Structure 1
Amino acid sequence: MIVRSQVIGCGSYLPERLVSNAELAAMVDTSDDWIVERSGIRQRYLAADGEMTSDLAFAAASRALESAGISGSAVDLIVLATATPDHTFPATATKVQRRIGMKHGFAFDVQAVCSGFVYALSIADNFIKTGQIQTALVIGAETFSRILDWNDRTTCVLFGDGAGAVVLRANRGKGGSQDRGILSTHLHSDGTHHDLLYVDGGPSSTQTVGHLRMEGREVFRHAVINLASVVGEALAANDLKASDIDWVVPHQANRRIIEGTAKKLGFPMERMVMTVEKHANTSAASIPLALTEAVSDGRIRPGQLVLLEAMGGGFTWGSALIRI
């Protein structure tokens, strides 16, 4: 028998304020056509004044726990992926821990930008597989609107705020690809590309939050190559073909990146879960937001094979193969 980390619940949260491309066009030199053509984005949600990453994370976590049918007191571990924490310290995860009533175990943040949720999932999975914990809450939550330069039309139109979460629980199976749970995770990083996607601030450098800076064309080129590679790695590790995968839930950065990756790997677009049009790029929150939507509307069903993949600043990138 082998221990797998089974997804037993998922949940998401979006702020109330919906901002259309037309509203942004009144603020910066852009247009709905320009944004849609280059990214596929039509709208995004922005956190309200005073609404913090921990608030979004708590809301998504509460819904995931409700979906799983358990209380916060049953959770042994919280791993919260975010590039926009409430404070430099303590970890935003510990604020969620307090609010869900988790009195034992431990909680911490992970920073891998848009790949953060896959990183967090991998960490929680390893704690479960080694027997150190039984139940984990994995969250991706961002308030990216707080680090955007609203005068830079090439970046401010691409991002939004939101949160998503999954509950993992130890499940004993036979060890084959038919077991429900996380089958494998694959993580990578390459620090030589720092200047292509970064934030120009931080407590150690400028003592300011800073703003997001990006070389879009170069990021696009690396994204398609790296994502195709790490998806191929997941398939090879499990002796599977692209046709064996029921659904791909990619990081929702840009429609063209998703299409390029699908084409390179031979995945039909009908099996790619797409929410970028409605949510924009919510960084670490994008995969759990998309996953929750596809589970909620019935597309993703128990027993299906689901492949997650993401790339973010650093560069970081990774994939996870799950039988739901």
Structure 2
Amino acid sequence: MGGIVDFAVAFPSARADIRAMHSASGVALADLARITHCESFPVLADGERSWELALGAARTVLDRTGVPASRIRQVVYAGSGEWDRPFWSPAAKVGHLLGADDAHCYEVANFCNAGMTAIRLLCAAGALNEGEYALVLVSDRLSRMVDYRDPDSKALFNFGDAAAAVLLQGGAGRFRFLHSAMRTDGSWADYYAGEPADGRVLIKRTAHRTGLADAYVRQFTALVDENLAAVGRTRDNIAHFLINHGDRDMHERLLGSLGIPAERSVFNYDRLAHMGGADTLIALGDLRDAGRLRSGDLIMLATSAMGFSWGITTLEYQG
């Protein structure tokens, strides 16, 4: 088994503002505020590339830990598959620039669940030998695929951009990987899809369908209980439950359904929207930086993705 040694997050230089969204779409500011929960949030600037954010986050982690890039055996770039360039490997680009010349570099595409999918694969028994390192890069360009001119796409107007780099090691690490469970309901596969337009890909939703909110609660609840059974714990043992920031109402509903107090989670909606697959790592970093983690804390990361996939990843903080 493996674990997380350290991780870092990088944010882009531009910001999306709901006033500009209002001007482009005609959607009322109050309605937009109910979706984003903040007036502005980080997005990629024109010409800014997500792989460069991931590279910066990776350099921060390697500098902070003192781990030489030559010791990294795998570099995995995780996201939607809609990279900065078509038919191209961002993992290979970042691995080369870091100097991870002996690493196998490849991509994992599972949208906002991709980062945890990669961590699950690399922390499985036999994936990393004791003392071996791997680097997971979580990055996307979601804001560049949202059409602010389309009022029917307003549910996606909270899509921001960020990148995270997670250094894994064979062995426990600072955050020991305990278990991960994931599942997909393919009946929702066509609910959202990309469409080429004006030289870019825009995310479009098909006709509205009810039941997705119920599916979130049902799938996450089942996966939480599966994780707890695997590690021999109960819901009362969950010290921190972190969820991606796609929908605040869903966040609160899920906590209530699970009986987890709000103070055991992190709410960044007042300053950040949905930062893609980096959401739960941003929240985990907030806990770490605020000194709120204690040795032995059981941490669950709840991630979901278009497709639709859901995952729960359970870590134990080692101090």
TM-score (norm 1): 0.87
**Residue matched to 1:305:** 298
Alignment of 1:250-269 (within 5 A): 250-269=243-262
Per-residue deviation, 1:251? 1.4
Distance change (3 Å), C-alpha of 1:188 and 1:24:
same
Q: Is the 8 A contact 1:310 1:318 kept in 2?
A: yes
Distance change (3 Å), C-alpha of 1:32 and 1:109:
same
Q: Is the 8 A contact 1:117 1:288 kept in 2?
A: no
Per-residue deviation, 1:55? 0.8
**Residue matched to 1:213:** 204
- Match of residue 307, structure 2, among 304, 307, 314: 314
Correspondence 1:281 to 2:278: no
Residue 241 of structure 2: SS of its match in structure 1? strand
The alignment-based identity, stated in percent, is: 23
Per-residue deviation, 1:302? 4.5
Greater mean alpha carbon deviation, residues 275-284 or residues 141-150: 275-284
Q: Which amino acid in structure 1 is aligned with residue 193 of structure 2?
A: Y
CA–CA separation in structure 2 for the residues paired with 1:132 and 1:107:
20
Correspondence 1:76 to 2:67: no
Q: Is the 8 A contact 1:163 1:288 kept in 2?
A: no
Residue 290 of structure 1: SS of its match in structure 2? helix
Alignment of 1:2-151 (within 5 A): 4-38=1-35, 40-83=37-80, 84-126=82-124, 129=127, 131=129, 134-151=132-149
CA–CA separation in structure 2 for the residues paired with 1:48 and 1:244:
42
Q: Which amino acid in structure 1 is aligned with residue 183 of structure 2?
A: H
Q: Is the 8 A contact 2:243 2:251 kept in 1?
A: yes
Q: Which amino acid in structure 2 is aligned with residue 200 of structure 1?
A: E
Deviations for 1:171-209, whole angstroms, at most 9, x for unmatched residues?
Answer: 269xxxxx95100111212222112233235xxxx9974
CA–CA separation in structure 2 for the residues paired with 1:121 and 1:139:
10
Q: Is the 8 A contact 1:226 1:311 kept in 2?
A: no
Distance change (3 Å), C-alpha of 1:296 and 1:66:
farther
Q: Is the 8 A contact 1:114 1:313 kept in 2?
A: yes
Q: Which amino acid in structure 1 is aligned with residue 123 of structure 2?
A: D
Deviations for 1:19-61, whole angstroms, at most 9, x for unmatched residues?
Answer: 3323432332234432333453443211122211211111122
CA–CA separation in structure 2 for the residues paired with 1:241 and 1:32:
42
Q: Is the 8 A contact 2:71 2:132 kept in 1?
A: no
Per-residue deviation, 1:301? 4.4
Q: Is the 8 A contact 2:121 2:127 kept in 1?
A: no
Deviations for 1:204-238, whole angstroms, at most 9, x for unmatched residues?
Answer: xx997431123485433322222222122211211
CA–CA separation in structure 2 for the residues paired with 1:189 and 1:109:
19
Per-residue deviation, 1:156? 4.3
Correspondence 1:159 to 2:159: yes
Q: Is the 8 A contact 2:128 2:170 kept in 1?
A: no
CA–CA separation in structure 2 for the residues paired with 1:130 and 1:11:
21
Distance change (3 Å), C-alpha of 1:129 and 1:61:
same
Q: Which amino acid in structure 2 is aligned with residue 92 of structure 1?
A: P
TM-align CA RMSD: 2.6
Q: Is the 8 A contact 1:82 1:111 kept in 2?
A: yes
Q: Which amino acid in structure 1 is aligned with residue 44 of structure 2?
A: A
- Match of residue 270, structure 1, among 263, 271, 280: 263
Q: Is the 8 A contact 1:147 1:210 kept in 2?
A: yes
Q: Is the 8 A contact 2:133 2:167 kept in 1?
A: yes
Q: Which amino acid in structure 1 is aligned with residue 238 of structure 2?
A: I
TM-score (norm 2): 0.88
Q: Which amino acid in structure 1 is aligned with residue 180 of structure 2?
A: T
